[in-house]
Amino acid sequence: MRNFFKKVKKSIKDFLWDVRKRIKIRQRKIGAYLDERNLNLATKFPGWAKALLYLSPALIVLAIFTFWPIFNAFRLVLYEGYNMTDNTITGYTIFGNFIKVINDESFIFPAQHTQGTAIVNTLIIVFISVPISIFLALFISVALNSIKPLKGFFQTIYFLPYVTNTIAIGLVIAYMFKSDGGLINELLGLGEFSWIERGSTHPRAMFVLIFYSIWGSLAFKIMVFLTSIQGIDKQYYQAASIDATPRRRIFSKITVPLISPMIFYILVTSVIGAFKIYNHIVALFGVTGKPDGVDFTMQSIVMYIYKYIDGGGNNLSIAAAGSLILFSIILILTLVQMQASKKRVHY
Amino acid sequence: MELRLENLTKIFTNKTGTDTTAVDNLDITIESGTLVGLLGPSGCGKSTTLFMIAGLVKPTSGKIYFGDDDVTRLAAEKRGIGLVFQNYALYPHMTVYKNILFPLENMDVARDEAIQRVKDMANLVGIGELLDRKPAQLSGGQQQRVAIARALVKRPRVLLLDEPLSNLDARLRLQMREEIKRIQRETGITTIFVTHDQEEAMSISDKMVVLDFGVQQQYAGPQQMYNNPGNLFVAKFLGNPPINTFEAKIDKKHLIINEQKLMKVDLPDGTYDIGMRPENFRAASSDSKIKIEVDIKEIFHIGRDTMIHFEFNNQNMRALVDSEAVTDKSKKIDLTIKKERVYIFDKKTGKVIDHA
């Protein structure tokens, strides 16, 4: 029986070997044919043309799905009264659409009897949940790195949110924070305390959203920090321990500086990610960002933009203006971070 | 600070449960203020011994004493040692100044005193002008000096160096060798360093320990160890060009080589391992008592000396003789060697047998 399998294995390997040989012969023949007729791309094309040829699949996709939409955003912003179905406009404007967005209710200024605006909500998420989640992720990854037993088990647990669907987790969180029989109210003995439903307030809803976004974003951060901590030469820690360095100082003077490039990378990407928050809010508060019977809105900038894209196509100019505003905020913040990092990030 | 190792043993157990004895019953007393070299081939347990003294590796059994203190169970940070790692382990994000200051920041030292100590130490090791550089901007030798300064600035009881010179080029190595010796002399600190380079160990240590498979072979001063090797391993390990070894019979109290009687020895008859260092041979004169005629196979002129190749009992031998003793056309030569420079080793145990 064993011999039989050996024979089968050998004949498969022989076959593959043969095929490879035939392909090579074929390639050589084609090469010779092309050389004969002076058609060989490898020698005939200049370097840049070859580069362009090889890049073309990615370039075509990028052009259709990234560059063309970006160009369109700039185009749409200049139109007044754009109608998508007829493809007609009533005039041109430079700042008109931006002014409309800024004056729009619940973008910068809250609407009547409504707390929270798109800008405020987004900024709260960016400036509260990002720093907290980075600090938490740092501490958890240092802790995970120093435990030996059940290491794999804990790593899996902390990594679970990353492989789970955002909306699904959001629904679970929403269920946990339900006023009637939700896990949190049961555990804390709060009775029918409203977190995200009728009767809740803006700070309470924001607390749930921050809790959820921190938890959801920890996984990736922990993974990145843990790998970079594991990449630090053990000798630095041995040297530090011989010098009787307390754990706190090892963390702040050795671990953090040595992984500072990674912390900066995480900071930039999570700030950008937080500005684009959308899924989390939809999962908790629905597509409008405003559950029934509350006096606040949880809508973010991206939700605001999406509302105008969705609205029949006649308000695309406003959506374009909104997205350009978002783009410039992110651009400015990232530039500021890059400047600040020159002093703080080592290497 | 006197340092004492008593029956120190380290056994590593791998995942399949097989034991490897890295260090086997080490018993060494290192006098205060001496520079001791731990010498041996790769994998002989010398770094393990060093790390056990440092407290980074826990011994399986045995005891370590610093003076009268038993430090065997003490954590690394409480032992008061300075350790210089093979690749220095300087913190790359800190300047030289911060690197040297780092150990002091964890101690109860006044700030002014700490700064003064950093400066003094930097001047002692000769990097006074480099304090605001980062380690990446330093040469290997300079990094080495920073590492030594960082280890010494907290005034440790013992200084440990793990292969301190292996990352330096040949010229720097010679220079740093003397530097380490000088720094050790000036501070008077008990120092242990690990090396696999016998020349390095011989040139700077006050005493050397030779290890093989975790077992101590000999503990003595370098010249004493060279002239009176305790066993065949030590004899083979020290010396460049290496010692000539061959088998020879003692027949009726005479050492027989190439069917000639070389000399009279007061040992029972039998087969022995014999060692003779190439530089201990001389061209025999007419009144030499110990004399043997050999057929020269090859002659190499190497400056001051001449190396000749010949055979003893079918073993290739080398001898360094005065260049005037042989010409290129010489076919034969009479060689002599002092009786105490003929090392006779027991065939079974490899131990040297005193015959002089």
Average pLDDT, chain A: 88
Write down the pLDDT at residue A83. Answer: 81
Half-sphere exposure of A206 (CA within 13 A, CB side): 20
Do the Cβ atoms of A239 and B85 come within 8 Å?
Answer: yes
Do the Cβ atoms of B54 and A242 come within 8 Å?
Answer: yes
**pLDDT band of A42, cuts 50, 70, 90:** low
Full DSSP string of B77-133: GGS-EEEE-TT----TTS-HHHHHHHHHHTSS--HHHHHHHHHHHHHHHT-GGGTTS
Residues of A with CB under 8 A from a CB of B: 233, 235-236, 238-246, 249, 253-254, 257-258, 260, 346-347
Q: Which of B56, B93, B150 sits opposite A238 (nearest CB)?
A: B56
If you measure CA to CA, which chain B residue comes closest to A347? B93
Do the Cβ atoms of A243 and B56 come within 8 Å?
Answer: no
Do the Cβ atoms of B56 and A246 come within 8 Å?
Answer: no
- Domains by residue range for chain B, with CATH: 3-237 (3.40.50.300), 244-353 (2.40.50.140)
Question: What percent of chain B has pLDDT above 90?
Answer: 25
Write down the pLDDT at residue A57. Answer: 95
Residue B276, exposed/middle/buried by CB under 10 A (0-12, 13-18, 19+)?
A: buried
Write down the pLDDT at residue B90. Answer: 92
Structure confidence by residue, pLDDT tens digits, B190-236: 999 998 888 888 888 999 999 888 888 999 998 999 988 988 999 98
Write down the pLDDT at residue B254. Answer: 85
Do the Cβ atoms of A253 and B82 come within 8 Å?
Answer: no
Structure confidence by residue, pLDDT tens digits, B87-104: 889 999 999 999 999 999
Structure confidence by residue, pLDDT tens digits, B285-312: 878 788 888 888 888 888 778 888 988 8
Do the Cβ atoms of A245 and B81 come within 8 Å?
Answer: no
Do the Cβ atoms of B82 and A242 come within 8 Å?
Answer: yes
**pLDDT band of B282, cuts 50, 70, 90:** confident
Nearest-Cα distance to chain B for A128, in Å, is 29
Nearest-Cα distance to chain B for A235, in Å, is 6
Do the Cβ atoms of A258 and B106 come within 8 Å?
Answer: no
Q: Is pLDDT of A347 > 60?
A: no
Give the integer Cα–Cα distance in Å for A167 and A283. Answer: 5
Do the Cβ atoms of B106 and A246 come within 8 Å?
Answer: yes
Full DSSP string of B10-61: EEEE-TT--EEEEEEEEEEEE-TT-EEEEE-STTSSHHHHHHHHHTSS--SE
CB pairs below 8 Å between A and B: how many?
Answer: 58
Do the Cβ atoms of B93 and A258 come within 8 Å?
Answer: yes
Cβ-Cβ contacts under 8 Å, A240 against chain B: 102
B249, two tokens: 């019979």
Residue with tokens 């990449």: A231
Nearest to B319, CA basis, from B346, B345, B292: B292
Sheet holding B298-302, edge to edge: B298-302, B305-312, B315-322
Write down the pLDDT at residue A68. Answer: 94
Question: What percent of chain A has pLDDT above 90?
Answer: 40
Write down the pLDDT at residue A148. Answer: 80
Angle at CA B147, nearest 5°, toward B26 and B220? 30
Write down the pLDDT at residue A41. Answer: 67
Sheet holding B292-295, edge to edge: B281-283, B332-337, B292-295
Q: Which of A240, A243, A249 sits opposite B154 (nearest CB)?
A: A243
Give the integer Cα–Cα distance in Å for B219 and B30. Answer: 10
**pLDDT band of A28, cuts 50, 70, 90:** very high
**Chain A CB within 8 Å of residue B82 CB:** yes
Length of chain A in residues, anyone? 347
**pLDDT band of A346, cuts 50, 70, 90:** low
Residue with tokens 């498969």: A12
Nearest-Cα distance to chain B for A224, in Å, is 20
Write down the pLDDT at residue A345. Answer: 66
Write down the pLDDT at residue B356. Answer: 67
Average pLDDT, chain B: 88
Mutation choice for B interface testing from A235, A243, A262 by most B CBs within 10 A: A243
Residues 92-111 of B with CB under 8 A from A: 92-94, 102-103, 105-107
Compare B293 and A133 and report the one with higher pLDDT.
Answer: A133
Structure confidence by residue, pLDDT tens digits, B122-172: 998 888 899 999 999 998 889 988 999 999 998 898 999 998 888 888 888
Nearest to A136, CA basis, from A220, A80, A53, A57: A220
Q: Is pLDDT of A115 > 80?
A: yes
Nearest-Cα distance to chain B for A259, in Å, is 10
ipTM tops the 0.90 cut: no
Give the integer Cα–Cα distance in Å for B262 and B268. Answer: 16
Structure confidence by residue, pLDDT tens digits, A293-317: 888 889 999 999 988 887 766 788 8
Do the Cβ atoms of B87 and A245 come within 8 Å?
Answer: no
Write down the pLDDT at residue A344. Answer: 66
Nearest-Cα distance to chain B for A273, in Å, is 29
Nearest-Cα distance to chain B for A236, in Å, is 6
Give the integer Cα–Cα distance in Å for B352 and B354. Answer: 6
CA distances from A118 to A121, A180, A296, B49, B61 (A): 5, 29, 11, 65, 68
Cβ-Cβ contacts under 8 Å, B107 against chain A: 244
